[in-house]
A and B are shown apart, each in its own frame.
Chain A
Amino acid sequence: MDNFGYKVELFLKDFIDAGGYRKVIAGLGNTLSIAVVGLIIGILIGTIIAAVRVFPKYKLMPRILNGICSLYVEFFRGTPMVVQLLLSYYVLLPLLGVRGADSVVVAMVVFGLNSGAYISEIMRGGILSVDPGQMEGGRAMGLSFGTTMMKIVIPQAIKNILPTLGNEFITLIKETSIVSFIAALDLYKAFNDIGTNNYEFIVPYLVMAVIYILLVLIISIGVRLMERSLRKGDRSM
């Protein structure tokens, strides 16, 4: 126990006196912004893909678009995110001649592209769970497929899938711990660096775990509150 007390002391010295907290705050900021921006990009991409995939496919164009979307989803779901991250940062960007890209920005984009694939499936389920009469009602008024989708169907679909989207956000937060593969500073890297100073990892890793748990808890509560207020706003359930 004495030993553990010493380790805590070591950690506090690094964390507070040596300014390790600044790194942690920066890391936390990156973790959150990668997850948030990733989620937003993911929802945009996912919604578009889902809309394309439920569009009636009598004509050639929708079929081609649908094929492209399928390929996209298959690729991002079929390869590990680390691989996507490494490919983008060390292969794709150099090939495109981009030098010195901000690894946090790259992470945001890759997380967005990746979660877009997953969210498209969630969103498709959400859209299919909305009564087809809603689409019919809009189309019969002379609104286009896209307009009815955006104004009527998707808002209802999002309400249905809100808990699942919350889970996706939590998954994203946790998965950000791989961005150190492209040398981005996130929560994990911050604590890992602190540990590396003295080669004492127990305390930093424990504190890190607690912070992750707190983050996830806060998000879960937020999602639940949002769900409740949405349900109050429109009592269609």
Chain B
Amino acid sequence: MIEVCNLTKKFGDLTVLENIDLKIEKGEKVVILGPSGSGKSTLLRCLNCMEDPTSGCIFFHGVDIADMKVDINVHRQKIGMVFQHFNLFNNKTVIENIMLAPVYVAKKKARRASIRKFFGKSYVAEDIKKVSEIKSEARENAFRLLTQVDLVEKANEYPSRLSGGQKQRVAIVRALAMNPDVMLFDEPTSALDPEMVGEVLEVMKDLAESGMTMVVVTHEMGFAREVADRIIFVADGIIAEDAPPEEFFDNPKSPRLREFLSKVIH
């Protein structure tokens, strides 16, 4: 699904990632661990080119999305991302947050298809829809997802009226509403009060069970052990360890990881 080759990322003189290779298969759950400032977020954000790689390739469904010539927006629509600080749209209600991008994308598709039809070119017949149809479909889908995270009654609230845990669940739903092929999480529970961490992790576990491909940066060791197929340890600009959870925690090979684990697990 995603293949990273020879990825290097520099911020000015600071080399954060150096010649990273990484392959993520469909349905895989990959957790990224590492010390603070080691480049976990940077690596994750390179996967959907929120950070442009300094060099190297990011293949998503076989297309190198790091290439400046590709329309990155089209690919990002299929890569969901969840942030530490939620990044919900403050000027939109919960339901508007969820519907905005799907409606926008569907409208654009419909317009494109109509134009192609008009000029007698080939087009996908299903793409041509009325705006009302697009909206009602998006709304239906949004409510279905909101039901799954138990937030239907918050549909018309503004984000400022939600708790951190609720915000993050809405943010997950918003990403899922695009029907993504993979979901990226950057410390989704780090900004939450401890009593809200559980509800968000619960949603993520359900998502994992549903077969979603997931890449998760987190400090939640329990989640990593339980959900991950593979854990990646980022340190000193490289992937210092890449192993299934049991091996990762019980039999770490790299000294850097052993040192890290001795600090986090007492």
Q: Which A residues are within 8 Å of any B CB, using their own CB?
A: 131, 133-134, 136-144, 147, 151-152, 155-156, 159, 234-237
Contact = CB atoms under 8 A, between A and B. Distances in A.
Contacts of A141: 76-77, 81, 100-101, 174-175, 178
B83 A133 contact: yes
Contacts of A234: 90-91, 158, 160
Interface in B81-96: 81, 83, 85-92
A161 to B, nearest CB: 14
Contacts of B70: none
Contacts of A143: 73, 100-101, 104
B74 interface: yes
Contacts of B79: 140
B112 interface: no
B105 interface: yes
A234 B50 CA distance: 29
A169 B255 CA distance: 65
A154 to B, nearest CB: 10
16 contacts: A131-B90, A133-B83, A134-B90, A136-B87, A137-B87, A139-B50, A140-B50, A140-B80, A140-B83, A140-B175, A141-B101, A141-B174, A142-B74, A142-B105, A142-B178, A152-B89
Contact of A138 (B48, B85, B89, B159): B89
B2 to A, nearest CB: 15
B75 interface: yes
Interface residues of B, number: 31
A197 to B, nearest CB: 54
A159 B76 CA distance: 29
B89 A137 contact: yes
Given A136-B50, A139-B76, A235 B91 contact: no
A138 B80 CA distance: 11
B161 interface: yes
Interface string B218-241: 000000000000000000000000
Interface string B100-122: 11001100000000000000000
B169 to A, nearest CB: 15
Contacts of A147: 104
A159 to B, nearest CB: 8
A39 to B, nearest CB: 22
B91 A156 contact: yes
A137 B88 contact: yes
Chain B CB within 10 Å — which of A131, A143, A156 has the most? Answer: A143
B76 A236 contact: no
B159 A236 contact: yes
Contacts of A237: 160
B76 A140 contact: yes
A136 B158 contact: no
A156 B73 CA distance: 23
A234 B80 CA distance: 26
A151 B100 contact: yes
A141 B102 CA distance: 9
B76 A235 contact: no
A236 B75 contact: no
Chain B CB within 10 Å — which of A133, A134, A141, A234 has the most? Answer: A141
A98 B85 CA distance: 56
The 4 closest A-B pairs by CB, nearest first: A137-B87, A142-B77, A142-B76, A140-B81
Contacts of B80: 140
Contact of B85 (A133, A140, A142): A133
Contacts of B101: 138, 141-143
Chain A CB within 10 Å — which of B76, B86, B161 has the most? Answer: B76
Contacts of A137: 83, 87-89
A28 to B, nearest CB: 36
A5 to B, nearest CB: 57
Given A136-B83, A140-B50, A142-B105, A236 B77 contact: no
